Amino acid sequence: ETGVTQTPRHLVMGMTNKKSLKCEQHLGHNAMYWYKQSAKKPLELMFVYSLEERVENNSVPSRFSPECPNSSHLFLHLHTLQPEDSALYLCASSQGLLTGDGYGYTFGSGTRLTVV
């Protein structure tokens, strides 16, 4: 258990479905992140939250909608996705946005999303 839990681990959805990914961290961290990991590509930073406030949206299509109700929970709401959105979606947390410690981020195991 890494301290960051993501559910579900696997998700298959149709292009007209609506689903949500959930992330929970038990580390007392103040910053949380969503990354997209596609085969043979670098992790792409999608959203950054600090103390429940979104501080970055990296030109992500509106069919991805994040929500951070408190500093321990992060959601990614999905609707009308495209097949090219199939990827591993990783959640991560860190102590804070300006923390320069030597630990970086703690990642969850990810949700493997397949859009059919």
Q: List residues near another protein by CB under 8 A.
A: 2, 4, 40-43, 45, 48, 50, 55-56, 90, 97-100, 102-110, 112
SS3 letters across the chain? CCCEEEECCEEEECCCCEEEEEEEECCCCCEEEEEEECCCCCCEEEEEEECCEEEEECCCCCCEEEEEEECCEEEEEEECCCHHHCEEEEEEEECCCCCCCCCCCEECCCEEEEEC
Indicate the residue among 81 and 108 with the shorter CB distance to another protein. Answer: 108
Q: How far is the CB of 17 from another protein (least distance, A)?
A: 23
Q: How far is the CB of 79 from another protein (least distance, A)?
A: 26
Indicate the residue among 72 and 109 with the shorter CB distance to another protein. Answer: 109
Q: How far is the CB of 24 from another protein (least distance, A)?
A: 13
Indicate the residue among 64 and 107 with the shorter CB distance to another protein. Answer: 107
